[in-house]
Amino acid sequence: MNILEEKIARDGVFKEGNIVKVDGFLNHLVDMDIIGFIAEEIARRYSGQQITKVLTVEASGIAIATAVAMELHVPMLFAKKSLTSNMDKDTFGADAFSFTHGCTNRLIVSKRHISKEDSILIVDDFLAEGAALSALIDITIQSGASVVGCAVAIEKGFQNGGKIIRGKGYRVESIARIANVDYKTQTVSFL
């Protein structure tokens, strides 16, 4: 097990319905040693690839994407879930159903910040059904940029997202790939 997997096994909380709670170190309180490890590992796996920007979606993807962008020395772009009064009106957008929030979010990115000259690494905290990654891939394609690949901290290997996105020919790297979780015994196993 790598240090993210060890952390999930020790400090993750598993709830009925295959819920993996990692709010103590990844997506509410965020442990910088863990984030640093994830970022180094993602950068290592994509070393040698030309990457011009890291793309994620607010909010819990931002911490990891920031650390990855620092490793790669490229800018980080985060898709927004709502149009604010200050934002450009000219955007690329795609819908993503959030199982955590129980609603569909429209992910949007200003057209000024992504273009066909870009080579995009898509980063997020979780991959479950793949809704967020699929929307971010869609936005990248709309812009004419190329998708170098995707990288997530945690993939729920027992859900369909990984299969769907890899099935479309995209590279997906997961730093912890969960095979299954048992909320009764509070145990987890990895692929």
CB of 27 to a second copy, least distance (A): 9
Q: Is 159 in the site for a second copy (CB under 8 A)?
A: no
The site string for a second copy over 52-81 (x = CB under 8 A, - otherwise) reads: -x----xxx-xx--xx-xx--xxxxxx-x-
Output the CA torsion 123→51→141→80 (10° steps). Answer: 40
* Cβ nearer to a second copy, comparing 76 with 172: 76
Q: Is 32 in the site for a second copy (CB under 8 A)?
A: yes
Residues contacting residue 82 through CB under 8 Å, at least 6 positions apart: 106
Residue with tokens 């048992």: 182
Task: Determine contact, residues 92/143, Cβ cutoff 8 Å.
Answer: yes
Q: Where are the beta strands (DSSP E) in 51-169?
A: 53-57, 76-79, 91-98, 103-110, 119-127, 146-156
CB of 161 to a second copy, least distance (A): 17
Binding site for a second copy (CB under 8 A): 15, 19, 21, 23-25, 28-32, 35-36, 53, 58-60, 62-63, 66-67, 69-70, 73-78, 80, 82, 84-88, 99-102, 109-110, 112-113
